[in-house]
Amino acid sequence: MLRWDGTSSGLTAQPVSAGSPNSVSPDWDSFREWYPGIKEGRFQVSNTSGEPITVALQASPSPGYGCWYAPSWADAPAFPPGGITVAAGQSSAIYTMGAFTAGAQGGCAATDLTGGWLGYLTITPVSHPADARLVGLRLSRDMTVDVADQAGGSTTVSVTNAHDQLAAFGLWTVTAGTPPAPAPQPSPAVTGYRVTPAGWPGPAMYRFDVTGAAYQLPAPYQFGNQVMVAPLLVRGSVDGSSWTSLGTLVPATEPAVAAGSADSPARLTLGLATFWWETRRDNLPTS
């Protein structure tokens, strides 16, 4: 017989003969502990969205947490503990997935109502993390894999069998798609006021009011969805051709959301924002 010591090449011959101490285990559970049952598979993550996503795996070999056991093997590494980033339109490397299948009742996680083994993937769009999705990657006893157990934001996740020949469970592709980020509409209105009077001996001070900053929201949009909007970029120019970045602006007033329809998508309009600018040159930036 061969005994596995937990490494990719650690198969050790065990003599089995009459009178050998390796011939008899004191009980069935001791035998299962000596020779644990393991079922393995492979998976990769495909990102079909237009932005990068991060993927983290939460799993444990404990019977109460899914019996997940998937170390590096000869043809695939274990999923990195720190997670991975998958670029827009790209697929990740292939990683191991698997579980202990031995236990007192002949199978780890036997008390689980689904009768399967699982780990949890957290899939997060980089630019709008509020749409993160928590997904149970479940390995079923009929050797299929599903992601039916999900919760969280509006990121979509599905799984398909890509190849039946890699390990017991084969190779499965987890496909993630994220809703598009809000699309900026035409530039907001900027109204400038000179605060200090002409001839003021010190630096000139200006106040700028910004109104009408709007974004088209991704469809379909429902009230209560979470979206992340980037700060407004403020640039100044004295000739309208050469522009200098002055900073960013986040309105402190409440935004408004207009519900969409079949002909008009939902729209987010930011509230009034005001910022102040001081310059030693007596020139009012044109924008």
Q: Give, in degrees to the nearest 5, the angle at Cα 110 between 104 and 115.
A: 155
- What's the mean pLDDT when you consider all of the chain? 82
> Is the pLDDT at 21 greater than 70, yes or no?
no
Q: Could you give the count of Cα atoms lying within 13 Å of 232 in the half-sphere of its Cβ?
A: 27
SS3 of the chain: helix, strand, coil, percent, to 5:
5, 40, 55
Cβ of 227: how many Cβ atoms within 10 Å?
Answer: 20
Distance set, CA 52 to CA 44, 80, 232 (Å): 15, 17, 22
Q: Rounded CA gap, 201 and 191, in Å?
A: 24
User: In this structure, what are the phi and psi dihedrals at residue 204, rounded to the nearest 5 degrees?
Assistant: -70, 140
> Is the pLDDT at 237 greater than 70, yes or no?
yes
Strands (E), 64-188: 84-86, 95-100, 117-125, 133-139, 145-152, 156-163, 171-177, 183-184
- Dihedral over Cα of 28, 30, 31, 33: its sign: positive
> Is the pLDDT at 23 greater than 50, yes or no?
yes
Cβ of 277: how many Cβ atoms within 10 Å?
Answer: 17
The per-residue pLDDT for range 154-205, each reduced to its tens digit, is: 889 999 998 767 788 899 999 999 877 788 888 899 999 999 898 888 888 8
- Domains located in the chain, CATH noted: 36-177 (2.60.270), 183-279 (no CATH)
> Is the pLDDT at 50 greater than 70, yes or no?
yes
DSSP letter at 80 equals: P
Smallest Cα–Cα separation from 236: which of 203, 281, 174? 281
Helix extents (H) in the chain: 28-34
* Paired residues of 97 in beta bridges: 41
Q: Rounded CA gap, 94 and 173, in Å?
A: 9
Span 40-59, average pLDDT = 95
pLDDT band, very low/low/confident/very high, at 47 (cuts 50, 70, 90): very high
